[in-house]
Amino acid sequence: MTTLYTLSLPELTALLADWGEPAYRARQIWEGLYHHFYASADEFTALPKALRARLAETFDFAPLVPAAQLASKDGQTVKTLFRLPDGLHIEAVLMRYERRNTLCISTQAGCAMGCVFCATGQMGFQRHLTSGEIVAQVMYYARQLHEQGERVTNIVVMGMGEPFHNYDNTMAAVDRLNDPAGYNFGARRITISTVGLVPAIRRFTQERRQVNLAISLHAADDALRASMLPVAKAYPLDELLAACRDYAAATGRRVTFEWALIEGVNDTPEQARLLASKVKGMLCHVNAIPLNPTAGYGGKATSRERAERFKAALEGAGVPCTIRLRRGIEIQAGCGQLAVRG
């Protein structure tokens, strides 16, 4: 059964026209979904009873069933395990900050990229999520926050899966969330992270979206990067960074390079200086975070001291760098830790 979140407003309007319903009914349903966060046909009390019944028969209003939930000790990070209609599972995370409520959402069940330090990559690829299943993750948390008098402030598409491997569904979901008539979530408050699928980055550049782009880089030379990210064998650094330069030049938007700092592997000042030489003149920023532990990888997180030296080497060469705080590590909710276990 299809979820209503899979339809765009024009698609919903056309469907209702086929049912003999006036166009304004589509607007009523759209408003119920994205402004009031209704989760069942019965909640659409402004609609005729017969239409509500037909919607209930035709659409799944709850494509994601929360199967388990874990909260960090400080209560600021909440991870939810969702069961999909076919019995597969995904995870998504809500991270609370002083003035922000950031969602980390998934685009695939599993992942085909095989990055060695990522728990999702270690579990392998199962399937793409539909655009509706991607949107539904946001609506689940938006509904919860709304009930608490709060709202989603940021969305990072950095959960399970490679968003650009599921490009069409990911972008359809982004467009639906950004729709001024619907959820009206600002594109500049959405960040999409990719391991570096160059053709998709170039397509993304041509579409001139206002969505932020982040690249999982993690190494400044091809050999080291390929040892951690198999995709690097298909898209060498020079090719990837050329696509990033073109993106920044065409859109005027800053590229974020994500870097998991692994002790003795990629946390050296030499790696920092090599990276700086390769991105010189590009509008970019490095987001470094000590490696989050996963069961399938033996590498260790860098120390604070080594992280600071890495940052200083970058900034000394003119590349801005932030060392991010790790969140939700004890509940396996940090970057690279999302996976379905057992």
Tokens 């699928």 found at: 197
Tokens 């500049």 found at: 188
Q: Which member of 21, 43, 91, 162 is catalytic?
A: 91
Sorted by sequence, the CB contacts under 8 Å of residue 147 that are 6+ apart come out as: none
Q: Which member of 104, 111, 244, 335 is catalytic?
A: 335
E strand spans, the chain: 2-3, 59-60, 65-71, 77-83, 89-96, 101-104, 108-110, 125-128, 154-157, 190-194, 212-216, 255-261, 284-290, 321-323
DSSP 33-92: HHTS---SGGG-TTS-HHHHHHHHHHEES---EEEEEEE-TTS-EEEEEEE-TTS-EEEE
Nearest one of 230, 183, 186, 239 to 212, comparing CA atoms: 186
- 115 in Cβ contact with 228 (< 8 Å): yes
For residue 20, count CB atoms less than 10 angstroms from its CB and return exposed for 0-12, middle for 13-18, buried for 19 or more: exposed
196: helix, strand or coil: coil
Active site residue 91: yes
Single-letter residue type at 331 = I
Active site residue 270: no
Q: Any idea which residues carry the catalytic annotation?
A: 91, 335
